[in-house]
């Protein structure tokens, strides 16, 4: 019973506040052996205004058996309570700060359902893929070049992230962080796509960042 109560409390925190803790807590230290690659699922980084922008985050680690695989990251559902050993905090930042609108976070008024057993494994050198549709949260209003940066915390696979840590709930999980970014070209909605003008992949230099994660 004690563990069930602990899981429910922890999962409510994950669903309601996991992605929204940026600015409220100090960021975990960045880990050189953690890697996040943020890229377009279409293979192109050019999109028209009003077009859906599907992204994917590829997360990996060069150190085996050290970091927990992200659990229920980007999950937008009000049914069920994912049983995660570690609640990943994440944030998205876009620069420049004009030309787009934040439509607001996904929130649940009521959460119901069973506890959902989730995979429990560690990150490896082989990237794990997590999908996110950027335009479900942000709407671009003006053509331009935009840098999107994802920051994410990742839990270490040690006793501090054990599902059985009911005795002392004040133990802070050991964690680290990493960032990844992509540069998007947003063009006018009337622009027509032509194969010779829109290559599937492009190398675009990153822009300076002035945004704060976490």
> What residue segments make up the domains of the chain, in order of their start?
2-187
pLDDT in tens, 95-154: 999 999 999 887 787 888 898 888 899 999 999 999 999 999 999 999 999 999 999 999
Model confidence, pTM: 0.77
Instruction: Map tokens 């069930």 to a residue.
Output: 4
C-alpha–C-alpha distance, residues 134 and 114, integer Å: 29
**Can you tell me which residue has the tokens 């409220």?**
24
Structure tokens at 129: 């893929």
Look up the CATH number of domain 2-187: 2.60.40.10
Interval 3-44: pLDDT, tens = 444 444 454 444 444 444 444 456 799 999 999 999 999 999
- The Cα 197–Cα 122 span in angstroms is 41
């Amino acid at each position: 019973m004690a563990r069930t109560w602990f899981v429910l409390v922890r999962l409510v925190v994950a669903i309601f506040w996991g992605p929204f803790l940026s600015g409220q807590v100090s960021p975990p230290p960045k880990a050189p052996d953690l890697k996040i690659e943020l890229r377009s699922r279409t293979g192109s980084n050019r999109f028209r205004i009003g077009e859906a922008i599907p992204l994917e985050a590829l997360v990996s680690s060069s150190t085996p058996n050290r970091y927990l695989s992200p659990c229920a990251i980007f999950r937008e559902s009000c049914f069920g309570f994912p049983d995660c050993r570690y609640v990943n905090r994440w944030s998205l930042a876009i620069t420049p700060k004009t030309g787009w609108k934040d439509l607001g976070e996904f929130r649940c008024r009521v959460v119901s359902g069973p506890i959902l057993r989730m995979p429990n494994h560690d990150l490896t050198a082989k990237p794990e893929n997590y999908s996110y549709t950027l335009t479900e949260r942000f709407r671009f209003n003006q053509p331009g070049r935009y840098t999107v940066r994802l920051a994410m915390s990742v839990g270490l696979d040690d006793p501090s992230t054990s599902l059985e840590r009911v005795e002392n709930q004040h133990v802070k999980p050991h964690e680290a962080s990493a960032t990844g970014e992509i540069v998007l070209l947003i063009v006018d909605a009337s622009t027509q796509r032509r194969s010779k003008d829109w290559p599937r992949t492009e190398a675009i230099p990153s822009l300076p960042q002035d945004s704060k994660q976490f």
